[in-house]
Amino acid sequence: MSSGKVILEQADQDLLVRMVMDGFRRIIVHYGAWFAEVEHQVGLEKALAVEDDVWQASVGNQLDRLGKTLDFPTEGGIPAVLKTLPKEVLADLIEKLSINWLANDGIWFQAVENRFGMGDAKRCNDTCWTRFSPFEAARIKKLLDLPEAGGIPALKRALGLRMYAFINEQSIEEVNDHCIIFYMNNCRVQAARKRKGLADYPCKSAGMVEYPTFAQTIDPRIKTECVGCPPDDHPDNWFCAWKFILEE
């Protein structure tokens, strides 16, 4: 018997529970480390394609394996219970996942800021958006089966499925067939700061990465202009606004 199995047999309940949670943690970090390194080695576009292959091959196997131990059935690599839940419960679950995503982002930012200062935290944050924003766009593009050159209509649909869309308030102004202006009317992060009497968080540097890379992943012909984003002044009915223009 391997030494690891001996340790498991001798471990108490508390250690085993903590090891289970740590196992999930290691898988998540290792997955992200692989994606970051593949992106570094072969570029983002190819890394996105590789990640899609990995997810399809990996997640189903993982859930099937866990299902056998925890006694929950799976169908096509998905926990079967998800397919039985009412639509309103699934919608609530998606909202909670979005809140968890945002909270996780904020915790990372604060942890880096506390150790190294605001400058390093903003630099790390902005760089993370160079990977996450196109990744999110690629996932939405596949979920909605959007065409490669879907133009403004495809972008409008994609903006409605971002994690932000389920927890913030946003709207779109139709300028013409080739141009829209996207407004973040209420932002959970900025609204929380406002309630505490704090100034807006200066998120423009992140937005200048986030929005152009998202739009260009949906359709490379789409160009992005910042209408306004903190620390810019803005009216009371929106925190940031972005113009998207289709250039033929």
pLDDT, averaged across the chain: 95
CA triple 232-98-144, angle to 5 deg:
95
Size of the chain in residues = 248
Interacting residues of 151 by C-beta distance below 8 A, sequence separation 6+? 178, 219, 221, 222, 246
Q: How far apart are CA 175 and CA 158, in angstroms?
A: 18
Range of weakest confidence among 6-15, 113-122, 204-213? 6-15
Predicted confidence at residue 239, as pLDDT, reads: 97
With cut-offs at 50, 70 and 90, classify the pLDDT of residue 13: very high
With cut-offs at 50, 70 and 90, classify the pLDDT of residue 2: low
CA triple 217-182-202, angle to 5 deg:
90
CATH of domain 85-247: 3.30.1380
| CA-wise closest residue to 37 among 54, 59, 57 | 54
Predicted confidence at residue 5, as pLDDT, reads: 83
Peptide bond into 212 cis (omega under 30): no
Tokens representing residue 28 in the block: 């998540």
Tens of pLDDT, residue by residue over 133-176, are 999 999 999 999 999 999 999 999 999 999 999 999 999 999 99
With cut-offs at 50, 70 and 90, classify the pLDDT of residue 83: very high
Tens of pLDDT, residue by residue over 35-82, are 999 999 999 999 999 999 999 999 999 999 999 999 999 998 899 999
Q: Report domain extents, the chain.
A: 1-84, 85-247
CB 163 within 8 A of CB 136: yes
Is the per-residue pLDDT at 3 higher than 90?
A: no
Measured CA to CA in angstroms, residue 151 lies from 141, 172, 173, 221, 243 at distances of 12, 15, 16, 8, 14
**Start-to-end C-alpha separation, the chain:** 66
Determine the angle formed by the axes of helices 118-143 and 87-116, rounding to 10 degrees: 160
CB 77 within 8 A of CB 63: yes
